[in-house]
Copies of this chain bind each other. A is one copy, B any other.
Amino acid sequence: MEIKVLHQVMEWNQDVSERVKQTLAEHRVCLINMMGSPGAGKTSLIAALIERLRGEFAIGVIEGDITGQIDAEKIAALDIPAVQLNTDGACHIEAMSIEKLLPYFDLDKLDVLFVENIGNLVCPAEFAIGENFRITILSIPEGDDKVAKYPLMFTETSCLALNKCDMLPYFDFDVERVRGDYRGVNPGGPLFGVSAKTGEGMEKLAEWIAGEIRAALA
């Protein structure tokens, strides 16, 4: 019975996701779903990407959190339209929440909408939210066994950003192990080693994302 209900929720979520995608396409807005563990550095990475992409694109951000508005405040401080979505306990964002938040943005003045999902390496991967593409963020301190242990998050993504690469000297982290596991579940998926903090690798990641945005808006 539990499984049956899960299917119903997911089918309904899929319908709403398609509707969100359609609405955004009409306004020529590209939605990017940013996912990763708590503390992987999602907000910092979005801030570092904004810095590199705002010259070409008008950007908005939806910050998903269980509670509070810490992250939306960080983004708003960059003078970027930001809305905080509180899931009040829920471990992932559903498409219906995004649909309800779209009216808070002037979509005709936006090219890109980043959505920072709840910090969680499991559930968000199962729920489409109207995104054009997904970026999964894994940080060095989390360990190199995470692709093997949480495969869906790395299968159902368009790109893997390996964040906090400046911490590689301090952790036993085998990048080649991650690369191999990632290739196993997501052949052809690009992997970028970056540090949102030092800026290392950020240009290449931003370039790749810009290319995807251009393709989505073409």
Distance in Å: Cβ of A89 to nearest Cβ of chain B: 7
Binary flags per residue of A202-213, CB closer than 8 Å to B gives 1, else 0: 000000000000
Tell me whether A91 and B146 are in contact (CB under 8 A): no
- Copies of this chain, complex-wide, total 2
Q: Mark A57-84, 1 if CB is under 8 A from B, else 0.
A: 0000000011110100000000000000
Question: Residue A98 at the B interface, CB < 8 A?
Answer: no
Q: Are B38 and A151 in contact (CB under 8 A)?
A: no
Closest to A2 in B: B9
Contacts of A167 on B, CB cut-off 8 Å? Answer: 141, 170
Residues on the B chain within 8 Å of A189, using CB: none
Complex: A68 Cα to B170 Cα, angstroms: 26
- Measured in the bound complex, the distance between the Cα atoms of B152 and A140 in whole Å is 26
Q: How large is the interface on A (under 10, 10 to 19, 20 to 34, 35 or more residues)?
A: 35 or more
> Chain B contacts of A149 at CB under 8 A?
38, 65-68, 70, 119
User: Interface stretch among A15-23, A46-54, A106-114, A120-128?
Assistant: A120-128
For A68, A119, A143, the residue with the greatest tally of chain B CB atoms inside 10 Å of its CB is: A119
By a CB distance below 8 angstroms, the chain B residues around A68 are: 148-149
Report yes or no: A89 in contact with B119, Cβ–Cβ below 8 A. no
Q: How many angstroms between the C-alpha atoms of A47 and B109 in the bound complex?
A: 54
Name which residue of chain B comes closest to A41, CB basis: B143
Q: Are A119 and B164 in contact (CB under 8 A)?
A: no
A139 within 8 A of B: yes
Instruction: Find out whether the CB atom of B146 lies under 8 angstroms from the CB atom of A39.
Output: yes
> B122 touching A66 by the CB < 8 A rule?
yes
Interface centre among A37, A146, A150, A170 (most CB of B within 10 A): A150
The 9 A-B pairs with the shortest beta carbon distances in the complex, nearest first, are A39-B142, A141-B141, A91-B122, A39-B143, A38-B121, A37-B38, A91-B123, A5-B5, A37-B37
